[in-house]
Amino acid sequence: MYVVIVGCGRVGSELAKLLSQEGHNVVVIDKEQGSFKRLGQTFNGITLAGNGFDVELLKEAGVEKADAFCAVTNGDNTNIMAAQVAKKLFKIPKVIARIYDPQRAHIYHKLGLDVISGTVLLAAMIRDKIIESHFTSYLIESGELGVIEIKVTEKFAGGTVSELNIPGEFLIATVLKKKGVVIPGPDTKLEKNDILMGVVKTISLKKVRGFFGL
Amino acid sequence: MHIIIVGGGNVGYYLAKRLAQGKHVVSVIEKNKELCERIAKELNVLAINGDGCDPNLLEDAGIDKTDVVAAVTGDDEDNLVICQLAKETYSVKRTVARVNDSRNEHAFNELGVDVPIDSTAIIAKIIEEEVSFKDFVNLMTFKRGKLAIVRVDLTEESPICGKQVMDIKLPGDSVLVSIIRGEEVIIPKGTTLLQARDDIVALTTIENEQHLLDALIGRLE
């Protein structure tokens, strides 16, 4: 893939290195020439100093043939503007904007921009870690579903996956066994200390917790 | 009218001052505390200290009953976001944005700002007009570059010299706005006689600009 990244801070440089190591063609744009130091010596993509929504510079970056565009500077509005220029003026198929401010993230998400808000994600993650042990709801955007981790106790050892699924409410998706990860069939046998990862309806969480005695 | 101005620097200050004199209800949002205090002290407007991209502050400024939002900060990305918030979230009818970097004007047009105002380009045009010896100057363009006001100086060779306005065949979608003869401004009527060295100000669509020039000075610029 041909990916244009605007912003070479911690996130931008990390993303650029990751994609470049996977063999993608990466162009990184940042206002400060000095920021490109973060990419390290082995980075073999292209770097361009300048403004991430400057149409001429974007053309120079080859944005017209880009498959994806990520705006990850530390300025929300810069990201919003750059992402919209990429999406509406250059029609890049995949455009992602990082927005810190949850309110603006929500508004631009509703306006059809593909938005990632580290603030919202992190807050939800930390909240889950504090309040709901072994349960996360931030992975699934609507908030209707979450993922729960359950350790198989004596009581359930020897049973099968299908005995524990609750149709319409809870579904075991993977089982972490000592020998590795298993995608279970209905008859997969459970042993003590296996860890189940299941998808659960948020409204059924209490019931599932009760069922497993958590 | 209710008007919100975001940005209380020089442009925002004088804009607020002028609009407030015109019986409009004006709110100004400005990040810098000192600038904001100066506006509160000197002008009869509501001055709010904070980030104009923050929906809460826009609500404090009364955006729900606002007719126009003018974003005149020194940052184009902020001006764009303010106008988009106003338009998309609060259904403000008219949004005006200052364009600091001329390269962004096109993007502003495409991304839904009603009226982007590129002060650099405007000043350059005025200066061009003042220093130009050409007999044609594009004074300004608006409506996303679809319309233009142009100034054309008539010479002796012009095919319309000595003719009455009603006898000139103008291309469609263009009109003569005024004739400047020396110090005198004439609003043209059908019987107005055109003379060499008249300056003609005309409104035209961009597609017809060249035809208009052909009709007025009879040759390609």
Q: What's the average model confidence in pLDDT over A113-125?
A: 89
Q: Is B157 exposed, middle or buried (CB count within 10 Å of its CB: 0-12, 13-18, 19+)?
A: exposed
Q: Whole-angstrom Cα distance, residue B131 to residue B97? A: 28
**Closest chain A residue by Cα to residue B102:** A54
Specify whether B107 is located in the same domain as B138: no
Q: What's the average model confidence in pLDDT over B156-160?
A: 86
Q: Does B85 touch chain A (CB under 8 A)?
A: yes
For residues B20-52, b (16+ Cβ closer than 10 Å) or e, as one string?
beeeebbbbbbbeeebbeebbeebebbbbbbbb
Tell me, yes or no, whether B178 lies in a domain: yes
Does the structure show a pLDDT above 60 at B221?
no
Q: What's the average model confidence in pLDDT over A65-90?
A: 96
Count CB-CB contacts under 10 A for residue B91. Answer: 10
Specify whether B107 is located in the same domain as B161: no
Give percent of chain B with pLDDT exceeding 90. 56
Give the model's pLDDT for residue A49: 97
Single-letter code of the amino acid located at B189:
K
Higher pLDDT among residues B166 and B98, named by residue: B98
Q: Whole-angstrom Cα distance, residue A192 to residue A57? A: 59
Tell me, yes or no, whether B58 lies in a domain: yes
Q: B133 pLDDT band (50/70/90 cuts)?
A: low
Specify whether B105 is located in the same domain as B189: no
Q: Whole-angstrom Cα distance, residue A169 to residue A153? A: 21
Closest chain B C-alpha to A202 CA, distance in angstroms: 30
Specify whether B152 is located in the same domain as B100: no
Task: List the structure tokens of B196.
Answer: 């060499």
Count CB-CB contacts under 10 A for residue B95. Answer: 24
Tell me, yes or no, whether B198 lies in a domain: yes
Q: Which domain holds residue B191?
A: 132-217
Tell me, yes or no, whether B127 lies in a domain: no
* Tally of domains in chain B: 2
Q: What are phi and psi of A71, to 5 degrees?
A: -105, 105
Specify whether B180 is located in the same domain as B142: yes
Tell me, yes or no, whether B7 lies in a domain: yes
User: B-contacting residues of A 137-196, CB under 8 Å?
Assistant: none
Task: List the structure tokens of A189.
Answer: 């046998």
Give the 3-state secondary structure percentages of chain B, helix then strand then coil, rounded to 5: 35, 30, 35
Higher pLDDT among residues B12 and A205, named by residue: B12
pLDDT in tens, B32-53: 999 999 999 999 899 999 999 9
Give percent of chain B with pLDDT exceeding 70. 96
Specify whether B164 is located in the same domain as B114: no
Specify whether B113 is located in the same domain as B77: yes
Specify whether B113 is located in the same domain as B176: no
Does the structure show a pLDDT above 90 at B145?
no
Which of B100, B122, B144 is the last residue in one of the domains? B122
Average pLDDT, chain A: 90
The full set of domains in chain A, from first to last, is: 2-121 (3.40.50.720), 132-212 (3.30.70.1450)
Tell me, yes or no, whether B73 lies in a domain: yes
Q: Which of B53, B55, B111 sits opposite A77 (nearest CB)?
A: B53
Does the structure show a pLDDT above 90 at A4?
yes
Residue A104 and residue B81: Cβ atoms within 8 Å?
yes
CB A156 within 8 A of CB A164: yes
Which of B122, B143, B169 is the last residue in one of the domains? B122
Specify whether B136 is located in the same domain as B98: no
Q: Whole-angstrom Cα distance, residue A171 to residue A186? A: 11
Residues of A in contact with B53 (CB under 8 A): 76-77, 101, 104
Q: Whole-angstrom Cα distance, residue A77 to residue A101? A: 10
Specify whether B109 is located in the same domain as B158: no
Where does chain A have alpha helices with state H? Answer: 10-21, 55-60, 76-84, 102-110, 118-131, 161-164, 205-212
CATH number at B39 reads: 3.40.50.720
- CA angle, residues B189, B190, B196, in degrees to nearest 5: 80
CATH number at B174 reads: 3.30.70.1450
Specify whether B99 is located in the same domain as B29: yes
Q: Does B109 touch chain A (CB under 8 A)?
A: no
Give the model's pLDDT for residue A138: 64
Specify whether B45 is located in the same domain as B112: yes
Tell me, yes or no, whether B112 lies in a domain: yes
Q: What's the average model confidence in pLDDT over B175-201?
A: 91
Residue B53 and residue A104: Cβ atoms within 8 Å?
yes
Q: Whole-angstrom Cα distance, residue B178 to residue B140? A: 15
Does the structure show a pLDDT above 90 at B153?
no
pLDDT in tens, B85-104: 999 999 999 999 999 999 99
Q: Does A84 touch chain B (CB under 8 A)?
A: yes
